Structure 1
Amino acid sequence: MKDPLDHIGAFKTILNLQQTPDEVICRSFPATFRGVARVWFSKLPASSIENFKQLSDSFIRHFIGGQQHKRPTSFLLTVRQQEWESLRDYVKRFNKAVLEIDEADDQVIMTTFQVGLNNPDLIFSLGKMPPTSMTDLLFKAQKYMNGEVSLTAKGLMGKRKKDETNESHGKKRDRKDSYSETKAGKSSPNIPRKKTNFTLLVMPADKI
């Protein structure tokens, strides 16, 4: 039983619409139990419940520990697409995280989704034509997810990711080598050139 308060609330809403007597409610409520809730009810002492309020209070006290607590909206900022994670897997993971938080408006959800995004092509597209809603954003993302599927089917997805990584590392290495050469040139002392001695040849003029 994840949320006893929600379970009772849904049950009371249905019964209140029908103006059901308290006695009937008490007898109907156990019919909604499953698993551990049904076991709990079967172990209640006979004649220990006098009305629905007493039954619902006892039910809540027993199962309140299993109530699912929502995460703050800021939790979405911790969800980021990993370097080797596909866009489809990131979308699934992000949507799962959205279900774990308190209610948040569309704008917050869209912003946090884009903050965690690690797909240059989609980032550029969203920057050029900002989505109007989360549904619109996911519709745009679907195009790039389909593209990843096509690349994966051709065996090119892994190569593309690897090439992007190697290119990034190559640029860093080139900058580092350039810096090292410049530093070495500045710190090395001037080395004097070695003089070359020439031997003068003296010959008589008539022999030249």
Structure 2
Amino acid sequence: MCRSFPTTLRGAGREWFTRLPTSSIDNFEQLSSAFLRHFVGRQHPKRPVDHLLTIKQGERETLRSYVKCFTQETLDADDADDKVQLTTFKAGLKSREFVVSLAKNPPRTMAEMLLKAQKYMNAEDALATIVDEERPKKEGRKEGRQT
């Protein structure tokens, strides 16, 4: 089994195997233990689902930033189903307009929630663009009045 094991490896596993010192493994049990210690020890355990309740949108945090953070954290959560994700996502929101919209027409799935969030993120981006375009005009007007 020790001789056929390397034929099943690719990438990092094969590289690890080829770097083992010559005659450092005497049997398959040692080989499998060494392999598990090297690769399984690097894995991060999944977080409990209730960890999602700790994710809150900051007072000045954009919806886009919150969605990005929340979706990343759901990947690390253990078995977070749609209902749990919906509940914890809404619990962490600070955006009043978005919360009102969700109350009027609640999404049934996380996919629907993310679609609604995308529309609000697009609106935030459009408003930010308008504000950015108006700033230089206002500053130009002030300078014109002072001369």
TM over 0.5: yes
- Measured in 2, the distance between the counterparts of 1:103 and 1:66 equals 21
Which is greater in Rg? 1
Describe how 1:80-91 pairs up with structure 2 within 5 A: 80-91=56-67
Does residue 1:43 correspond to 2:20, yes or no? yes
1:63 deviation in Å?
Answer: 3.6
Give 1:150's aligned residue: 126
Contact 1:109 1:134 (C-alpha < 8 Å) held by counterparts: yes
Which of these residues, 118, 121, 124, is aligned with residue 94 of structure 2? 118
Q: CA deviation at 1:31?
A: 3.2
Q: Does the CA contact (< 8 Å) of 2:90 and 2:99 recur in 1?
A: yes
Q: Which runs of 4+ in 1 moved over 6 A?
A: none
**What is the CA-CA distance between 1:62 and the residue it aligns to?**
3.3
Q: Distance in 1 between matches of 2:16 and 2:6?
A: 16
Give the alignment's Cα RMSD to 1 decimal.
Answer: 2.3
Native 8 Å contact 1:26 1:55 kept in 2:
no
Match of 1:135 in 2: 111
C-alpha distance in 2 between matches for 1:64 and 1:97: 21
CA distance in 1, matches of 2:11, 2:131: 51
Which residue does the alignment assign to 2:51? 75
- Report the CA distance shift for 1:152/1:128 in structure 2 as closer, same or farther (over 3 A): same
Which sections of structure 2, spanning at least 5 residues, go unmatched? 133-147
Output the amino acid matched with 2:61: E
Unaligned runs of 5+ in 1: 1-21, 157-208
Matches of 2:59 and 2:38, distance apart in 1:
45
Change (3 A) 1:64 1:31: closer
Amino acid of the structure 1 residue aligned with 2:15: R
With over 3 angstroms needed to count, the CA separation of the structure-2 counterparts of 1:140 and 1:92, relative to structure 1, is same
Larger CA deviation: 134-143 vs 147-156:
147-156
- Identity among equivalent positions (%) equals 39
Cα distance per residue 1:57-116 (max 9 Å; x no partner): 221123433221111111111111111111111100111111111111100000000000
Partner of residue 6, structure 2: 27
Shift of 1:24: 6.7
Contact 1:30 1:41 in 2 (8 A): no
How many residues get paired? 132
Give distance in 1, aligned partners of 2:61 and 2:80: 25
Most deviating of 97-106 and 39-48: 39-48
TM-score (structure 2 length as normaliser)? 0.77
Tell me, in whole angstroms, the C-alpha distance in 1 between the residues paired with 2:90 and 2:62. 15
Structure 1: distance between partners of 2:73 and 2:38: 28
Normalised TM-score (structure 1): 0.56
- Please tell me whether the aligned partners of residues 77 and 112 of structure 1 are also in contact (alpha carbons under 8 angstroms): yes
**8 Å contact 2:53–2:92 — kept in the other structure?**
yes
Asked if the contact 2:2/2:31 (under 8 Å) is kept, the reply is: no
On the 8 A contact 1:70/1:100 being kept in 2, the answer is yes
Q: Distance in 1 between matches of 2:77 and 2:102?
A: 24
Mapping for residues 94-109 of structure 1, pairs under 5 Å:
94-109=70-85
